[in-house]
């Protein structure tokens, strides 16, 4: 997988520089930037503790960022999903696939199957210049209500692994702009109409918006989705080591226990299989009866840190270049072949 958008190209297409940009009236600004905002509807599978393998749906938001049909969104909306459809302004729907995803930063990038007529990409801004107290706009689909607009202010800026440790790689803006279910993945704009972040989540005791919304900065989005050679493989699961590895009789003492394999992903195409039951082991509920990946692309899986190494190595390969995976399946060692996306 090649770098998704070369830095120089991004600078030309999106106008990184904000020189000369002037704040605009919110009503006028909404009309200008709203056409770049999309609704994302996704379907996936998960393993339920009582019902086994079940299907579920997810709804979120996104923003069109390039003329060739790339859409930026939140990873938790699209990561490991079987089917993704993007709804554009006017109601047209277009199938999409994941081309990059980093759950630890809650960022995902989609590629539309076709380019809709009149598609209007957003301009990307420089989140480094954003200061606490600046006014911002959020557009998304809270509870499926598309193109809903809210305004607020930047109330704090959080470095990675400070505000929300479940997503340790993300740099966050904290905002008072209203964020609810369905806003996830939608863009945050500055008053010059530039995207400066991607909506992630809110913190709420009531379940509704309480003015504690968190948005991944554009600095993080550029790094994880545009500047690095990350291959989205569709590897979802839990690295087992120590006592867990002994319980599963894992050769070498470690591996990735696969939970789900998204349809159409490189992992799916190479024949990896996920689990269909859950078991509670040592107080942890774990998806079981899936493949255990011992190594992939020449990298042995010893810890969670090895998963991004695999993504980087495969991402640096030429499209279609083969790679091997060593897999433990139902107690037998097998070898599977994959192709770099």
Active-site amino acid positions: 76, 106, 184
Which residues does residue 217 pair with via DSSP β-bridges, in sequence order? 197
User: What SS3 class is residue 89?
Assistant: coil
Q: How many angstroms from the chain centroid is the CA of residue 71? A: 11
* Helix residue spans in 116-255 (DSSP H): 218-222, 242-247
Which residues does residue 132 pair with via DSSP β-bridges, in sequence order? none
> Cβ of 105: how many Cβ atoms within 10 Å?
25
Distance CA 306, CA 299 (A): 7
| Vertex 29: Cα angle to 23 and 30 (nearest 5) | 145
User: What SS3 class is residue 194?
Assistant: strand
DSSP-derived letter for residue 105 is G
Helix (H) or strand (E) holding 45: strand 37-48
Give the C-alpha distances (Å, rounded to integers) separating 160 from 130, 138, 157, 322: 16, 22, 10, 34
Start-to-end CA distance of the chain, whole Å, equals: 5
Cβ neighbourhood burial of 325 (10 Å; 0-12, 13-18, 19+): buried
Q: How many angstroms from the chain centroid is the CA of residue 232? A: 10
Helix (H) or strand (E) holding 236: strand 236-241
């Amino acid at each position: 997988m090649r770098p998704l958008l070369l830095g120089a190209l991004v600078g030309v297409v999106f106008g990184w520089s904000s020189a000369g940009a002037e704040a605009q009236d919110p009503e006028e600004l909404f009309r200008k930037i709203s056409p770049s905002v999309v609704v994302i509807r996704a379907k996936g599978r998960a393993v339920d503790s009582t019902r086994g393998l079940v299907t579920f749906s997810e709804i979120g938001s996104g923003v069109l960022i390039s003329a060739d049909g790339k859409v930026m969104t939140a990873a938790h909306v699209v990561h490991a999903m079987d089917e993704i459809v993007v709804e554009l302004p006017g109601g047209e729907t277009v199938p999409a696939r994941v081309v990059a995803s980093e759950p630890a930063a809650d960022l995902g990038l989609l590629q539309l199957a076709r380019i809709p007529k009149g598609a209007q990409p957003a301009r990307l801004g420089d989140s480094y210049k954003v200061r606490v107290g600046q006014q911002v706009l959020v557009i998304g689909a809270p509870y499926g209500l598309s193109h809903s607009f809210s305004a607020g202010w930047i109330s704090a800026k959080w470095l990675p692994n400070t505000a929300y440790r479940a997503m340790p790689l993300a740099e966050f803006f904290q905002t008072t702009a209203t964020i609810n279910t369905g806003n996830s993945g939608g863009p945050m704009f500055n008053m010059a109409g530039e995207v400066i972040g991607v909506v992630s989540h809110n913190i709420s005791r009531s379940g509704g918006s309480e003015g504690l919304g968190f948005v991944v900065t554009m600095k993080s989005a550029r790094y994880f989705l545009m500047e690095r050679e990350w291959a989205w493989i569709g590897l979802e699961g839990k690295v087992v080591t120590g006592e867990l590895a002994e319980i599963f009789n894992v050769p070498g003492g470690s591996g990735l226990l696969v939970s789900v394999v998204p349809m159409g992903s490189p992992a799916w195409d190479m024949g990896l299989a996920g689990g269909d039951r859950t078991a509670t082991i040592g107080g942890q509920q774990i998806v079981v009866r899936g493949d255990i990946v011992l190594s992939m692309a020449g990298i042995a899986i010893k810890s969670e840190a090895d998963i991004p190494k695999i993504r980087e190595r495969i991402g640096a390969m030429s499209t279609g270049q083969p790679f091997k995976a060593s897999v433990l399946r139902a107690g037998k060692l097998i070898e599977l072949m994959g192709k770099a996306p």
